[in-house]
Amino acid sequence: MRLKTTLKPSFREIRLVFTLLATSLFAANLTLAAEADEDDGVTRYVRFTDATGTHNGILEGQSIRVLDGDPIFDDEVNSTDRTVSLDNVELEIPINPDRVPHVLGVAGNSNNPDGNPIEVEHPSWFGKATTSLAKNGAQVEVPFGATNFNFEGELALIIGREGRHIAESEAMDYLFGVAVGNDWSENDWCGERRGIEEPSHVFCKAGDTFATLGDQVVTGLDLSDLELTVHLNGMLAAQGTTADFRNDPAALISKLSHYITLKRGDIIYTGTVAPPQLPGTRRQLWQDDILEVEIEGIGKVSNQLARVTRNTMSGPEISAANGSYVRFSHAEGHSFGLLEGNEVQELDGDPIGNSVDFTGRTFDLGEVELSIPVDVEKPGRKILAAAANYHPTDAPPRQVPHPRYFLKHSSGLSGDGDNVERPPEVELFIPEGELVLIIGREGRHIPTDQAHEYIFGVAAGNDWSELAWITAGPGTRPLKLVGKATDTWSGLGSTIVRGMDFSDIEITTQVNGELLSQGQTSTMINNPARLVSYLSRYMTLKPGDMIYTGAISPLPGMRQNLDVGDVVEVTVEGLGSFEQEVITMPDWPYGS
């Protein structure tokens, strides 16, 4: 039936037509791109789901050559004799999100093509969460209370080899491939201009669904000058090129690896183009808006926005018994166990998030070596640290509606007796003895009165920090993320205790035997239940996630910039003590 010319289609109908056209064009573009790749050494890796499960493959025209493993995480992956039609599968995120260690990004990394190039010695790093990952076509949540939620179309780097202190000349050897991504951001929260009256910078980038990726990880491309375009509801909203990067992919990999060990499968969003939006297109995004990002030679990612629903989502209840849980090494390897007096009863697996049983073997405590009580290689673990979470001792109590959080990294986990690295460029490197919550149950939008049902147990912790980098004052220096997330800066005692009352226990921190701080957990501004509930507004908490609950203020005149050789001991009542010594880190290899 022909529409009369006097009828105007609704905005929703226009969007529907745009979506259908975009889907058809994307399928056609996949075929054309794959055919062109045969002659230029480019390979397009995909993950897909069909009737037999989820698999990895190589896209070749309208078909996928199935692989016998995951080429990003597994060695010696080969093609099978099976091919499937692109029409008969559903494409997934091209990297298995359950195996991704970390998602990171950089802000302000593009020069304006109409201005003078700017050299940036220390990129402005930020962290996203692995629970932020979402696929092409998935809905993206507009966070509750957002006032400046926006898109950032970006090139995403996929790390294929573990490394630390990587030379820039060798950095591309650590890159597996690239993908097209959208680094969704609530830009007002990034600036924290309203302080405790709005969510902190962590939630500007790390909310659920805030890291979308296209369908392919592409290898063999020249990344030096790829065009990137963003369309908002079909209208061109941003356009630029990777040639305008202030720090190119090699420099980003090298500089980040100075502070943080890069792991196989880490994802780095490389920064949006400049200007990030063309004139007249910048506005608060709302539900039903459709954003499409395209990068030349790589593909597209398209997502529609949706309003957040605030329904509680819960995983299986925690079934573990109360007690003191440890991880220990013995003649045959490593095991988890339950500590009872001077004996350790071995468990048949990791008790956090899993149903485990006793193996029947018992070890004498003096014959084993206790280690960090969690699996440090567990991918995707979120470690968050609350800041300024204790009432001042010399002022009225405070109310903090939005707790201040920072991201730390699992590569930063360090245990009793381990050394802690001090970069030579630090200005105010400090220890912070804290109570650490270990999450044992998956949850989102968790009510405060139910939050303790999601806590597996608690441990003693040391939230090592560089305060000058966190406050990001004037001058050339690293910024917030590495002020908390640097390797070895997540100290953790040897025991996780389940079932204890931690509402009013004492925490003390000593430096070289002198008291630095002392106080009670009962003086927290936001108690553990509130911290858990608040976090779950913005991100899904998973078993193994950790929350450092904040440090007690130091005694007057005791805060100082720690030096190599200093020894810090943290003691938490009922959880024991652990000690760590400060050592030096290699010099920053760039600039001053």
* Per-residue pLDDT at 585: 95
* Per-residue pLDDT at 19: 43
Q: Which of 523, 358, 351, 526 is nearest to 438 (CA)?
A: 351
Q: Which CATH architecture has domain 314-369?
A: Roll (2.30)
Q: Out of 338-342, 348-352, 475-479, which region has the weakest mean confidence (pLDDT)? A: 475-479
Mean pLDDT over residues 474-489, rounded? 82
Inter-CA distances, 452 with 131, 317, 402, 444, 530, Å: 21, 11, 20, 14, 10
- pLDDT for 95-116, tens place per residue? 999 999 999 999 999 998 878 8
* Per-residue pLDDT at 261: 97
Q: Which CATH class is domain 375-584?
A: alpha beta
Percent of the chain with pLDDT over 90: 81
- pLDDT for 283-334, tens place per residue? 889 999 999 999 999 999 999 999 988 889 999 999 999 999 999 999 999 9
Mean pLDDT over residues 470-479, rounded? 65
Beta carbons of 538 and 206 less than 8 angstroms apart? yes
Q: Out of 33-42, 267-276, 346-355, 561-570, which region has the weakest mean confidence (pLDDT)? A: 33-42
Tell whether the model's pLDDT for residue 141 goes beyond 70: yes
Number of helices (H) and strands (E) in the chain: give both, helices first: 7, 42
Mean pLDDT over residues 420-440, rounded? 96
Tell whether the model's pLDDT for residue 22 goes beyond 50: no
Tokens of 524: 């927290």
The neighbouring-strand residues paired with 148 are none
- pLDDT for 509-534, tens place per residue? 999 999 999 999 999 999 999 999 99
Output the average pLDDT for the chain: 91
Q: Rounded to an integer, what distance in angstroms lies between the CA atom of residue 381 and that of residue 130?
A: 8
The full set of domain ranges for the chain reads 96-309, 314-369, 375-584
Beta carbons of 404 and 386 less than 8 angstroms apart? yes
Q: Which residue has the higher pLDDT, 470 or 543?
A: 543
* 96-309 carries CATH number 3.90.850.10: yes
Inter-CA distances, 14 with 19, 281, 335, 547, 557, Å: 9, 18, 58, 45, 65
- DSSP states of 131-179 as a string? GGEEETT-EEEE-TT-SSEE--EEEEEEE-S-BSS--GGGGGGGEEEEE
Mean pLDDT over residues 184-211, rounded? 90
Query: pLDDT-based confidence at 170, cuts 50/70/90?
Result: very high
Percent of the chain with pLDDT over 70: 92
* Per-residue pLDDT at 479: 75
Q: Which of 366, 396, 397, 352 is nearest to 527 (CA)?
A: 397
Q: Where are the alpha helices (DSSP H) in 279-397?
A: none
Q: Rounded to an integer, what distance in angstroms lies between the CA atom of residue 83 and that of residue 57?
A: 9
CATH topology agreement for domains 314-369 and 375-584: no
Residue ranges with strand state E in 165-289: 175-183, 185-186, 211-213, 217-219, 227-232, 235-241, 267-269
